[in-house]
Structure formats: structure tokens, C-alpha cells
Amino acid sequence: MKFLGKRKPAGGSGPAAPAATTRERGNVAEDQALAHLQAAGLQLVVRNYRTPGRGGGEIDLVMRERDGTLVFVEVRSRAGSAFGGAGASISVTKQQRIIFAARHYLLRLPSPPPCRFDVVLVEASVQWLKAAFDAQ
């Protein structure tokens, strides 16, 4: 008879450790990206900014450069490079949602500062792509 459940680790007596959820892996990647950006001198303004309602957008990190530039950061992580890796997962639709959320965020400010959209790819290493895309 075949056993289709989770296997116990070899030599261990307890159940197999549960795999990290996508959200947990995303949080770890965001933590790594945040540490990388802060080490480069950026300040965290807000994490996981979401627009209200369905169909809106989310910005993983809103950071501020020393010169006052507001940086909207999308963090992408992939375990492997299949299907183009983390960078290939930022579709035009995803960019539009980030831009929508950024515009919503900027409406709250009395005078919007200079802004840009960066991407941080977390794969085997952390790669920071400044001005990865533009609002159109």
C-alpha cells in the first residue's frame, strides 16, 4: 500500500516541517530588500501600502532617498530562474497596479516629491534595479 501523506524526516521522530507559505517567503524577501536599501541610505516610509477596495494595487516598500526622492519599490523573489526568474514576473499589468497605488499614495501629500519606481530581485543574491519602469 502506498502512503501519500507527508514523509517523516529520515532518522527523526517528529512530523516533517511544513514548507513556508508564499506570503512567508515574500516577507523574508521584503526583509532582505529592506535591509539592502537601508544599508544604501534609503529610509523606510511605509511597508505594504495598499489601495482600498478590490482591483487596486500594492506597493511593497515606499522609501525615501537622502535627496527627498520617493522610491516605490516592488520586491520579487523566485527560488529558481525558470520562466525568466523574478524579474520576468513583473508584467505590464503588475506595473500598472503599482503605478495606480503610487498615484493614490501621492494624492495624500500636499506637494508630491520627485518619484521613481525601483525593483529589488531576491534570488541567489539581492539585485536592486533603480528606475526599473516609468509611470505612463
Confidence (pLDDT) at 18: 57
Average pLDDT over residues 6-31: 64
Average pLDDT over residues 39-64: 92
Q: Count CB-CB contacts under 10 A for residue 70.
A: 18
Locate 81 and state its grid cell.
530562474
Confidence (pLDDT) at 94: 87
The dotted CATH code for 22-133 is 3.40.1350.10
Note whether 90 and 74 are within 8 A (CB).
yes
Domain boundaries, the chain: 22-133
Confidence (pLDDT) at 9: 43
3-class DSSP assignment, residue 5: coil
In angstroms, the CA 65 to CA 79 distance is 29
Which residues touch 99 (CB under 8 Å, ≥6 apart)?
A: 57, 117, 135, 136
Q: For the whole model, what pTM was predicted?
A: 0.78
Averaged pLDDT of the chain? 82
Which residues touch 29 (CB under 8 Å, ≥6 apart)?
A: 75, 76, 77, 122
Residue with cell 527560488: 79
